Amino acid sequence: MEWFHRVRSRTPRWVLVLLLLGAPCVLAEEPTGAEDAGAKPASASDTPDPVNRSSGVQEEEESLALELPDDEIPVDLRLATHQRMLTLIDEQRFEEARSAAERVLQLTREQFGDRHMELVAPLNNLAFTQIDTNQLAEAEKTYRRSIQLVTELEGFLSPRLVNPYVGLGIAYNRGEQFEQAREAFATALRLNHVNDGFYNPEQIKIRDGLTESHIGLGEIGDANFQQESQLSISRRRHGDRSLETLPAMYKLGRWYERSGQYEEAVSLFQSARRIAKAGYGAGSLELVDAYTGLAGAYESQGVLSSAAGALKKGLEIIDAQPEPDTVRRGQLLVKLGDIYMSNAKVNTAGSYYSDAWRTLSQSDPGLDERDRYFDSPTRISGIPLSRLRYARGAKRGAAGLKDGYLVVSFDVDSGGRARNIKIIEADPPGLLENRITRLIAGYWFRPRHTDGQPVLATSQLLTHEFKYLPADSKTPETKPSGRDTKDKRLELPGTASDG
């Protein structure tokens, strides 16, 4: 994952939310009931819960109308405001999106009153925007209001309770209230099972939320169970050697890799390769995912030759196609370059990076990928600073913790190393400066490229936030874990690595 500002995905944010949460989504519900069977973009009645608006309500209505041609002035202001909210979320204008969500809830109340199921989706959507603007306490209250309303109107086993409980779990996880998050996700899972059975696929993303909660509580065995159960569900639905189980196998393999279970990861990817080969044939592109996963597991074990060998087999399959996929080919070339760069084989890495640049330059989608990989330096090895979250003996959940931060400036040379490392600002000073300077000095980066050649990237800025105990605590600095997770969060085990 890149450390520097990169262009974020053009995928609408509400789509990402649906993908993250599965059918029991936070953002949008079907107003008449069956939202848990298949999430979709919210309709007008699916909008969020407004907090009291200021006197700018009339101005917002006028500005909304002014933004549309005369023949498109909305008859249903609620629908138009809801669509505006989605647009603002997509544009990452989260404060404005929250205001639009508040307005939709207000309009919904004016139309349906204070006790109506049409309020549920607007409440959930408002809570989602409150999470996005880091108003976690407000999000909790809003989800609780949604839960209370559904319970009063439809009963405590209503399927429409799943969404707000999932959202509540997300809010608690974001605020590191992991016990409460675990309880919320567990309730959502029970409701899911009551309404859809024990083996329904909609529960998968709820289990991912539970995984995050267990990790936060140090319950690694329970987190592992939540991930392994997902493959069991897929096998129960499709059969042990069905091709349809491959996505679940790849996901669990990535989880094993990221949680340090490297032998299990290798074994699972090897099994997936055998299933894919038997079902699709030895030269099928479907084997590339298995080889890529296998390469990641070998790399995590430090077995460079096996990791590179797996990626090269994937490249052979791509190159053997009548019309090779240049984007996929470029991605594998970048991964090969990263493997060699992280092992200080700079010249070999540079050769693969140059090949990747040329390959990705052959199409418009490839150009987007090329820019994503090479516009700015990317850390590819070394302990991420996100692992160093506590200083001066501070521990998660301890009383009296304060927020601190520091800003670091450094250059990344064409050989992938950090130079000229400087602490620009530290508040408070004297806590983590030396430790972070040493960490960054040990990193290997994929260097920035211009016209296919690695170049010096100057004045890279990094802001690191942490917790600390103030005043007279004499406990030494907290050291991060030695295991490199490549800055990927274990609580989002389904997230694919971008190299």
- At 286-325, the pLDDT tens digits run 999 999 999 999 998 889 899 999 999 999 999 999 999 9
What whole-number distance in Å separates Cα of residue 205 and Cα of residue 185? 10
Q: Which CATH architecture has domain 1-236?
A: Alpha Horseshoe (1.25)
pTM of the model: 0.73
Amino acid at 410: F
Ranges of the chain whose pLDDT falls below 50:
1-75, 474-499
- Residue in 176, 188, 216, 177 with CA at minimum distance from that of residue 26: 188
| Residue 159, preceding peptide bond in cis (omega within 30° of 0) | no
Predicted pLDDT at 5: 31
E strand or H helix that includes residue 190: helix 178-196
The predicted structure's pLDDT at residue 9: 36
**Pairing mode of beta strands 390-391, 457-468:** parallel
| Mean model confidence pLDDT for the chain | 82
Alpha-carbon distance of 198 to 178, in angstroms, equals 24
pLDDT for the residue 22: 35
* Whether the domain at 1-236 and the domain at 382-468 fall into the same CATH topology: no
pLDDT of residue 397: 67
Give residues with Cβ within 8 angstroms of 128, minimum separation 6: 17, 26, 27, 48, 101, 139, 167
pLDDT for res 10: 35
Cβ contacts of 69-77, under 8 Å, gap ≥ 24: 76/44, 77/107
- Residue 6 burial (CB count, 10 A): 15
Break the chain into its structural domains and give their ranges.
1-236, 382-468
**Joined tokens for residue 182:** 């675990």
Question: What is the distance between the alpha carbons of residues 58 and 37, in angstroms, rounded to a whole number?
Answer: 37
Name residue, tokens 């408070």: 428
State the CATH architecture for 382-468.
2-Layer Sandwich (3.30)
